Amino acid sequence: MTRQSLVFKAPYEIGIIEEKLPQPATGEVLIQTRFSAISHGTEMMIYRGLFPADTEADLTIPALRHPLQYPFKYGYAVVGEIIATGSGISRDLIGQTVFCLHPHESCFSADTDSVITVPADINPREALFLANMETAVNLLMDGRPVIGEKVAVFGQGVVGLLTTALLAQFPLAALLALDPYELRRDASQRAGAHLTLDPGLPEAAAQISACFANDGLNGLADLTYELSGNPDALNQAIAVTGFAGRIVVGSWYGSKPAAVDLGSRFHRRRLHLISSQVSTLTPDLAARWTHKRRFDVAWDMIRRIRPARFITRRVPFAQAPEAYQLIDKDPATDIQVVLEYA
């Protein structure tokens, strides 16, 4: 028996290869994939070859502990069904629907420690958003929004949309979402943003100021998130954030240079730049929080937000190369593309 695996062969070149079906080793389960989600941020950086060559894919994910060197497999949002178990694992797990941080493959073996059971009340397509929802939860934990604050979110891809939707649960004074694509701005409006803007428009600065000018503090944000993946947006985030404000940088720029303006605005306003990455918990919460606790919160937020509404296209796995081409050439037409396996 064989399986099909998606491989990044070179920049802008993807292939689906046939491989021998793996058998679960001791402590492992064999998973038949039902759906996997393409990351329109990180994966497209890899598709375009915009990653540092000396970087590991992800040291915290067993399936991604390899250097980013072509050819390689990548992906981190898979939902499937356990179809076999290795020695030492109860066969009672067969038939369970599970989520796994794993590349795009039709079937794969995984250690039970890296497999997360999907709660019975959550649809498998909703479960695909677990990794991105955990990231959004982590972004709020790092930014710590306060009642009555003014918040701006640059970038309304999936992570940005989920972050906006979570922020909309807070009693904020203003919640502004910024993205160049109308489809995403419309989605963020429905997710609860008070105002959405195209940050590239000449009048954007004046509109941002008007949105935030309700407290006599020069129309600037208290808390800003940079989630666009565009290094230029970081300077915009600095420009719109007020004195002693926080800027949470959740974007991964890869090998794209970031010419950050740390001139008078940054220094005179005493701004705080905060890096946020979901692989770890912020140290000052680690005494009380675990990855499992954060995952539990992410499941609850999936129940509340219902992120499957952000799926804009479903593509058979065999057509995955065409899906990446589409996202690359026309990013304005989709929010989340999902691969479906027969």
Q: Is 310 left (phi over 0), alpha (psi -120 to 50) or beta?
A: alpha
**In terms of DSSP bridges, do strands 150-154 and 174-178 run parallel, antiparallel, or are they unpaired?**
parallel
pLDDT of residue 137: 98
Closest CA to 205 of 238, 246, 170: 238
CA-CA distance, 38 to 77, in Å (whole number)? 8
For the chain, the residue count is 342
DSSP 158: H
Architecture of domain 2-118+306-340 in this structure: Alpha-Beta Complex (3.90)
Amino acid in position 117: T
CA distance 39 to 50: 14
AA identity, residue 101: L
- Looking from the CA of 87 toward its CB, the CA atoms found within 13 Å total 2
Burial of 176: CB neighbours in 10 Å, binned 0-12, 13-18, 19+: buried
Q: What is the pLDDT of residue 167?
A: 98
CATH 3.90.180.10 in the chain, residues?
2-118+306-340
The structural architecture, per CATH, of the domain 137-283 is 3-Layer(aba) Sandwich (3.40)
Phi-psi category of residue 110: left, alpha or beta, with phi > 0 → left and psi -120 to 50 → alpha: beta
- Give 38: exposed, middle or buried? Use CB within 10 Å, 0-12, 13-18, 19+: buried
Distances (CA, A) of 287 to 143, 277, 299: 18, 18, 21
SS3 state at 221: strand
Per-residue pLDDT of the chain (342 residues; tens, 9 = 90+): 899 999 999 999 999 999 999 899 999 999 999 999 999 998 999 999 988 766 655 545 565 566 788 999 999 999 999 999 999 999 999 999 999 999 999 999 999 999 999 999 999 999 999 999 999 999 999 999 999 999 999 999 999 999 999 999 999 999 999 999 999 999 999 999 999 999 999 888 888 888 888 666 678 999 999 999 888 899 999 999 999 999 999 988 877 777 888 887 888 899 999 999 998 898 889 899 999 999 999 999 999 999 999 999 999 999 999 999 999 999 999 999 999 998
Q: Residue 273's pLDDT is what?
A: 94
- From its phi and psi, is residue 304 left (phi > 0), alpha (psi between -120 and 50) or beta? alpha
pLDDT at 129: 98
**Quick check: 31 and 95 in contact, CB under 8 A?**
no
Phi, psi of 110 (to 5 degrees): -145, 145
Q: Where are the beta strands (DSSP E) in the chain?
A: 2-10, 13-20, 28-37, 78-85, 97-100, 107-111, 115-117, 150-154, 174-178, 195-197, 221-226, 241-249, 272-275, 311-316, 336-340
Q: What is the pTM assigned to this prediction?
A: 0.93
320: helix, strand or coil: helix
Q: How far apart are CA 62 and CA 100, in angstroms?
A: 10
CATH 3.40.50.720 residue ranges for the chain: 137-283
